[in-house]
Amino acid sequence: MEYPITRDYIRFGNSRSGQKISKVRFIVSHDTGNPGSTAYGNRNYFDRSQPSASAHTFIDDKYILEIIPLTEKAWHVRYNVTTDNRMFGDDANDAAIGVEFCHGGKINFQEAYNRYVWYHAYLCDKFNLDPKRHIVAHSTLDPSRRSDPQNALRPHGVSWEEFINDVQESYNRDFKGIPTSKPKPVVAGVSTRLPIRRGNTGAFVKEIQQDLIKAGFPLPRYGADGSFGPETETAVMRFQKRYGLAVDGLVGQATLRKLEEVIKQGNSTHEEFPLPDGVWGRGDKGEEVRMIQRALKHINFDPKMIDGSYGPLTEDAVRRFQSMYAALADDGIYGPNTKKYIQLELNDM
């Protein structure tokens, strides 16, 4: 078994100092603690945000992604904890490789786990380490604050002991005592240079598209397909206009930071004014009708009363809104097409 290793290093800053490791003595196993965050999502966060923390490698179901060279230090364990010194005679940041497991969301656990196990075995072979002696959980080093990577493994029935046994098995099978062709690294980076623009493709583009959708800027025609086309460019420009950024359709650091902030705060238009699915018309009642009335009121098509009753005033408000768009029949009935255009109007505000 052999997996490609992708090396796409982040820029120098708080997360990557460039300081050298004198000797790799052990490995610290982590998980991201952020379900659904991918290897490239983490890589791009550390590259643009530059927090005073980092790890060498992030692993999901598609990538073993080294974001800091294994010859350099990463900041993945607090210096003021002393367990690492007692166990290995050195600080983890100075003498260990930090490996992060990406899990949850749409990440296939088994595919990610297989890569996580194999990469630990690869590191043991590369640095002449013993899987049973030289791999330690972050939770062991900092038990008062951390429970990783066990909190990502246990829900899938994998104990720490079983994980170490799996690494040992991979080490024996894939590396120990047999001639092995060293994994050929895939040197990446071109696809993640900022700004991202029309014509770019790949995993990072797909994540930007997913973030735009989460922030309330839908991509109804193509969705998050990993291709930065006219629909994505328009959504980016609408996002930039809404949040007072330079409206150029380019996704640079300012747009990425604001997109991250909007999602984190949950203050997208879509979140503030959720819209129901289905078809609604005169005589209908309930919370779904209230949703429609609130959205119409916000975009100045006031149905006069938010009462959850789809009466003549609500029907008239829907009809007046529909008359703005040639693609809509101005019949006063709320359906999927009317929903799409109401959402687009909300996103532009």
Confidence category of residue 189, pLDDT binned at 50, 70, 90: very low
CATH code at position 304: 1.10.101.10
For residue 194, pLDDT over 80 is answered with no
User: Where among 234, 269, 304 does a domain terminate?
Assistant: 269
For residue 220, pLDDT over 90 is answered with no
Lowest-confidence range among 13-17, 281-285, 323-327? Answer: 323-327
pLDDT tens digits, 228-268: 999 999 999 989 988 888 889 999 878 888 887 887 665 44
pLDDT of residue 191: 40
Confidence category of residue 177, pLDDT binned at 50, 70, 90: low
Q: How far apart are CA 217 and CA 232, in angstroms?
A: 9
pLDDT of residue 144: 87
Please check whether residue 1 lies inside any domain of the structure: no
Lowest-confidence range among 108-117, 142-151, 252-261? Answer: 252-261
Number of structural domains in the chain: 3
CATH code at position 90: 3.40.80.10
Lowest-confidence range among 141-145, 185-189, 208-212, 255-259? Answer: 185-189
Question: Are 41 and 108 part of one and the same domain?
Answer: yes
Report which secondary-structure segment, H or E, holds 279: none
Q: How far apart are CA 50 and CA 92, in angstroms?
A: 20
- Amino acid present at 56: H
How would DSSP label each residue in 9-68?
Answer: PPPSSSS---PBPS---EEEEEE-SSTT--HHHHHHHHHHH--S---SEEE-SS-EEE-S
Residue 338 tokens, joined: 């009317």
Question: Are 18 and 121 part of one and the same domain?
Answer: yes
Point out which residues pair with 20 in neighbouring strands: 72
Question: Are 220 and 175 part of one and the same domain?
Answer: no
pLDDT tens digits, 23-51: 999 999 999 988 888 999 899 889 888 88
Q: How far apart are CA 36 and CA 104, in angstroms?
A: 5
Q: Which residue has the higher pLDDT, 301 or 132?
A: 132
Report which secondary-structure segment, H or E, holds 98: strand 96-101
Question: Are 145 and 278 part of one and the same domain?
Answer: no
> Is the separation of the CB atoms in 55 and 76 below 8 Å?
yes
For residue 207, pLDDT over 60 is answered with yes
Residue numbers of the domain that contains 252: 196-269
User: Where among 162, 187, 212 does a domain terminate?
Assistant: 187
Q: Rounded mean pLDDT of the chain?
A: 87
Question: Are 263 and 337 part of one and the same domain?
Answer: no
pLDDT tens digits, 72-104: 999 999 999 999 999 999 999 999 999 999 998
Question: Are 240 and 260 part of one and the same domain?
Answer: yes
